[in-house]
Amino acid sequence: MTDWHRGAVIYQIYPRSFADSNDDGIGDLRGIAARLDYVKTLGVDGVWLSPFFASPMRDFGYDVADYRSVDPVFGTLADFDALLARAHDLSLKVIIDQVYSHTSDQHPWFKESRSSRDNPKADWYVWADAKPDGTPPNNWISVFGGEGWNWDTRRRQYYQRNFLIEQPDLNFWNADVRRAILDVADFWLKRGVDGFRLDVANFYYCDRLLRDNPPRRPQGGFARPYQHQRHLYDRSQPETLAFLEELRRLLDRYGERMSVAEIVSDHPVERSRQYAAPGRLHTAYNFLFLESRELTPALVRSAYDGWSESGGAWPSWSFSNHDVVRARTRFGGRDAGEAYARMLLALLFSLRGTIFLYQGEELGLPQGDVPFEKLKDPEGVRFWPDNLGRDGCRTPMPWRHDAAHAGFSRVEPWLPVDPRHHALAVDMQEKREDSTLALTRRLIALRRSSGALRGGALDFADAPAGVVAFWRRHGSEAMLCAFNLGAGPADFPAPGPLAPTETGSGGTIAAGRIALPGFGWILARAGA
């Protein structure tokens, strides 16, 4: 059995926004299949598909109504099988999103569960009686705002919901629920998928006693009610680990499969190490980078706290995904240029771990502008203007600069294409050897060919303020990776003879010194 995921680069595809094959304004599985040749040219090891399952789309697929079927807006199971076969023909792995924490309120399981207190699935969701005064059973709060409970008039009880009202939480204390979820996983493994990305994997269990969360001491004030609590009882319960070990045993029966947890925690690195420990999941990623608004050397260093002592746990990293403002804008501001976007890519592909590259990042896309009247994300509407930016990062992929809607669709898409994205479209960048797309391909190729970058150790090196530098080492190969995260120039001694391999924004090594202009960077092998 090979650990193909270690050091791999996996390309995240958000199906609604990647490619529209039938001109209904929404991306689909056939559209993805038709564009897999492009994905292959990036040099990535595989793709992660965000949810494409049957859903009322209140949370755009993360509210699953049938785990075993494809929503008609995306196609059919036959379309998925064809996509999977095409990906495998191209030697691309396919991992799919699995949303086990909760379902849609339209799922047959929930419809039965809410029908009475004594039906066969009555205990499949987290139900609780009201307090004597009619209020919810405890103080838990939803991530998306409001109470973490919703009253159901049929059962005359509250059900837990960590997200939308339409997303009731499954009760993992129930053995039948655990078996049903493992059956879902087995269904897709038998179909040939190469693994799973597990949505909010540390939300599966809640405290059996439903104890109140304690308050969290504000540090400069919190933007959302959810941040006012220490989430000791509504997530990250120790029982989750036993279930993940059971899921891992299922995966291992199928050979070269992988699993990656999404971790939402106040202690993201520690929790990721715990969930990716041997015998549990293959790897885990968190929101350390994704939720940060400032990229600093200290932040990068903090990402690796404790990993070397974690007993073999393997990290994963991403700077952007479908839930947050794109990295170019979030870290660099609205006016961040292409040089900044390229520095981010070089840094990401130099990190130790499995790398997730969100669609459009290879083009250096800034966050898309979506006016309020065209917002679709319920979280974005509720918290406007201080929202997570999920609509702006989900705007359609720009394929052709001179086509309507940038070649994504021939009709108006579900979200508008930002006019700035036309100039960064794939067809424009394909023509230029100095494009961000061309750099992405070179960097991924370098990572694949370098044992140090793909799987080697990472050791931080001394560097001046504003610069993060580290060695990647494997066997006799050693590569220094240095990045100027600031707009001003930086100059410092080179730690021995170095042969530059890739540079950005005019970074140089001369006379025993490394010179990095603002947002400059350099990857250099030891030995002149």
- As a three-state string, the secondary structure of 308-336 is HHCCCCCEEECCCCCCCCCHHHHHHCCCC
Band of the pLDDT at 495, cuts 50, 70, 90? very high
- Looking at the structure, do residues 334 and 405 belong to the same domain, yes or no? yes
State whether residue 470 is helix, strand or coil. strand
- Looking at the structure, do residues 334 and 311 belong to the same domain, yes or no? yes
Band of the pLDDT at 223, cuts 50, 70, 90? confident
- Looking at the structure, do residues 399 and 476 belong to the same domain, yes or no? no
- Looking at the structure, do residues 361 and 493 belong to the same domain, yes or no? no
Inside any domain, residue 1? no
Q: Shortest CA distance to 260 belongs to which of 64, 97, 447?
A: 97
Report pTM: 0.97
Band of the pLDDT at 221, cuts 50, 70, 90? low
Where is the domain boundary, 444, 466, 486? 444
Inside any domain, residue 271? yes
State the Cα–Cα distance between residues 101 and 202, nearest whole angstrom. 8
- Looking at the structure, do residues 405 and 337 belong to the same domain, yes or no? yes
Active site residue 262: yes
- Looking at the structure, do residues 361 and 496 belong to the same domain, yes or no? no
Band of the pLDDT at 441, cuts 50, 70, 90? very high
When the pLDDT of each residue in the chain is averaged and rounded to a whole number, the result is: 95
- Looking at the structure, do residues 464 and 438 belong to the same domain, yes or no? no
Where is the domain boundary, 422, 444, 466? 444
State the Cα–Cα distance between residues 318 and 325, nearest whole angstrom. 12
Inside any domain, residue 157? no
Inside any domain, residue 27? yes
pLDDT tens digits for range 224-247: 889 899 999 999 999 999 999 999
The domain spanning residue 385 has which CATH number?
3.20.20.80
Active site residue 63: no
The domain spanning residue 513 has which CATH number?
2.60.40.1180
Where is the domain boundary, 418, 444, 470? 444
pLDDT tens digits for range 21-66: 999 999 999 999 999 999 999 999 999 999 999 999 999 999 999 9
Give the range of the structural domain holding residue 68, as residue numbers without chain letter: 9-103+174-444
pLDDT tens digits for range 404-431: 999 999 999 999 999 999 999 999 999 9
- Looking at the structure, do residues 397 and 508 belong to the same domain, yes or no? no
Inside any domain, residue 372? yes
Q: What is the pLDDT of residue 528?
A: 64
Q: Are strands 477-484 and 467-474 parallel, antiparallel or unpaired?
A: antiparallel
Inside any domain, residue 467? yes
Inside any domain, residue 273? yes
State the Cα–Cα distance between residues 317 and 6, nearest whole angstrom. 12
pLDDT tens digits for range 274-333: 999 999 999 999 999 999 999 999 999 999 988 877 778 999 999 999 999 999 999 999
Band of the pLDDT at 92, cuts 50, 70, 90? very high
Inside any domain, residue 169? no
Q: What is the pLDDT of residue 388?
A: 67
State the Cα–Cα distance between residues 285 and 307, nearest whole angstrom. 13
Q: What is the pLDDT of residue 44?
A: 98
- Helix ranges (H only) for 174-319 are 175-191, 239-252, 268-275, 297-303
Looking at residues 196-212, what average pLDDT do you find? 98
- CB-side neighbour CA atoms (13 Å) of 115: 12
- Looking at the structure, do residues 431 and 465 belong to the same domain, yes or no? no
Catalytic residue among 147, 262, 377, 502: 262
Residue 144 confidence (pLDDT) above 80: yes
Catalytic residue among 199, 338, 391, 418: 199
- Looking at the structure, do residues 298 and 417 belong to the same domain, yes or no? yes
- Looking at the structure, do residues 412 and 468 belong to the same domain, yes or no? no
- Looking at the structure, do residues 302 and 432 belong to the same domain, yes or no? yes
Looking at residues 462-490, what average pLDDT do you find? 97
Contact 446, 453 (CB under 8 A): yes
Q: Work out how many domains the chain is built from and give that number.
A: 2
